Chains A and B, each alone.
Chain A
Amino acid sequence: MADLLIQVREVDGVAVVLPEGFINAHTVRMFEDTLEKLVVERRFNILLDCSGLNYISSAGLGAIMGLIETIRENGGDILLCSLAPNVQTIFDTLGFTQLYRVFPSAAEALQALAEKA
């Protein structure tokens, strides 16, 4: 099985990114390419659905950090949902839950984006 598979689907103008597996220094390039492609396509409303994400290291966090300013400057945001407990712990430990809006489910995150629109 591959270390990481990433699906991207469009839901009501939101790019929902579904990483499945592990984001670490080995797989981060694929994750970064996915996010960068969305930015190039000017798809600035992004939901990172972490329901299939087993693990994210600082390499993956750096990929998000590297794009968040550009995305917000263009009126968009990266929201996160469905974090596994160990992924939630990483975000909490680094204070990232102050930087990103985290939702229990994709439906709640999409609802929040719809209300903002």
Chain B
Amino acid sequence: MRPAAPPETFRLVIPSQTRYLNLVTGLAKRASLVAGMDDATAAKVSIAVDEAVTNVIIHAYKGESTHKVEIELSFLPATMEIRIWNTGPGLLDGEVTLPDPREYVKHPRKGGLGLLLMSRFMDEIHFREAGGRSECCMVKRLVG
């Protein structure tokens, strides 16, 4: 039996500045289309990536523009995986509590919607710390 081919992967490293968000989300959308997703699904992936990178810039790095955000996209046979790393504080799987959208409807307020969008638009989300870095891994399964 031949070993499985390694995933095709590429990485982008950006300064921790929101002006690069469009660059990253555009790349995520194009990559999703290359992976075989339709336009609507690719748009969802790009939004999830926007939210994840924004979380890093605003929360992990507190808006400081001199850090790096590393984004890795991996094409696997049945999924696309997106990993986002930072060297600031991050979330861990057990710490994540998603807001209830019904509460937002009852009591409109700002904040907390990014994680909800990420969880609704991706099939899996994992947070962990490894090697002194914080990682957010998002998985989208390819249909068909």
Cβ-defined contact, B110 with A66, below 8 A: yes
A85 within 8 A of B: yes
A65 within 8 A of B: yes
Most buried by B among A25, A61, A69: A25
- By secondary structure, the A interface counts as helix
Query: Contacting B105 at CB < 8 Å: which of A57, A62, A99?
Result: A99
Given contacts A58-B114, A93-B117, is CB(A99)–CB(B18) below 8 Å?
A: no
Q: How far is the CA of A69 from the CA of B57 in the complex (A)?
A: 29
**Chain A 44-88 interface 0/1 with B at a Cβ cutoff of 8 Å (1 = within):** 000000000001011101110110110000000000000001100
Q: How far is the CA of A48 from the CA of B17 in the complex (A)?
A: 28
For B19, the closest partner residue in chain A by CB is A26
Cβ-defined contact, B117 with A95, below 8 A: no
Cβ-defined contact, B40 with A93, below 8 A: no
Report the count of interface residues on B (CB-CB < 8 A): 29
**Chain B 23-54 interface 0/1 with A at a Cβ cutoff of 8 Å (1 = within):** 00100000000000000100110110011001
For A84, the closest partner residue in chain B by CB is B43
Cβ-defined contact, B47 with A99, below 8 A: no
Query: Chain B residues with Cβ under 8 A from A62's Cβ?
Result: 110-111, 113
For B46, the closest partner residue in chain A by CB is A55
Cβ-defined contact, B108 with A99, below 8 A: yes
Cβ-defined contact, B110 with A3, below 8 A: no
For A85, the closest partner residue in chain B by CB is B40
Cβ-defined contact, A57 with B116, below 8 A: no
A34 within 8 A of B: no
B contact residues vs A (CB 8 Å cutoff): 18-19, 21-22, 25, 40, 43-44, 46-47, 50-51, 54, 57-58, 101-102, 104-105, 108-111, 113-114, 116-117, 120-121
A contact residues vs B (CB 8 Å cutoff): 3, 22, 24-26, 55, 57-59, 61-63, 65-66, 68-69, 85-86, 89-90, 93-96, 98-99
Interface pairs (22), CB distance under 8 Å:
A3-B19, A24-B22, A24-B25, A24-B54, A25-B57, A25-B58, A26-B19, A26-B22, A55-B46, A55-B50, A57-B54, A57-B117, A59-B114, A65-B104, A65-B109, A69-B108, A86-B40, A89-B43, A89-B44, A94-B117, A95-B105, A96-B105
